[in-house]
Amino acid sequence: MTAIHRMVDACREGTHPSCVGQVKSGWVIMGQIQVIPGYCLLLPDPVVPHLHALQGTDRCQFLDDMADLGEVVLQVTKATRINYEMLGNLEPALHAHVFPRFDFEPEGLKTKPIWMYDWDSADTFSMDQHGELFQKIQQTLFD
């Protein structure tokens, strides 16, 4: 069982601490490590190994939900752009990373992949620190 499976199970059970809510294709969560403010993930439900395991309308729905989430994150964070990534190398289960990118990022990092940031020193998600952003994403996504 992958971390993606465990996160989806926690979302289903209502115990995932950063679960924004359920969309047609799965679950939206805020990243456990907020390496950049507003970082979210889309997790499919049911979990599948990769994008090509989804067929027809299910694949289109996942991609539409990912784009809709990106649009919400863009609007709420007032980011410059949104980066989308589906890697699956470390956790071999489909999941989409949605990263807002900002003009205020350090010059040496703003045009590089987000993975170049120091994730070990980044903020861990907490409602105390990220609750307002969480609520704005949730309200905008589900209004």
- Grade residue 74 by pLDDT with cuts at 50, 70 and 90: very high
Task: Pick 91 or 29 by higher pLDDT.
Answer: 29
Determine, yes or no, domain membership for 104: yes
Domain assignment present for residue 28? The answer is: yes
Could you tell me if residue 141 is inside a domain? no
pTM over 0.85: yes
pLDDT of residue 79: 98
- For 77-102, what is each residue's pLDDT tens digit? 999 999 999 998 889 999 999 999 99
Residue 136 lies in a domain: no
Domain count, the chain: 1
CATH number at residue 32: 3.30.428.10
Determine, yes or no, domain membership for 15.
yes
State the DSSP code for 87.
Answer: -
Does residue 113 lie within any of the structural domains?
Answer: yes
Beta strand segments in the chain, E: 19-23, 26-30, 33-34, 40-44, 81-85, 96-101, 123-124
User: What domain range is 25 assigned to?
Assistant: 3-131
pLDDT confidence of residue 27:
98
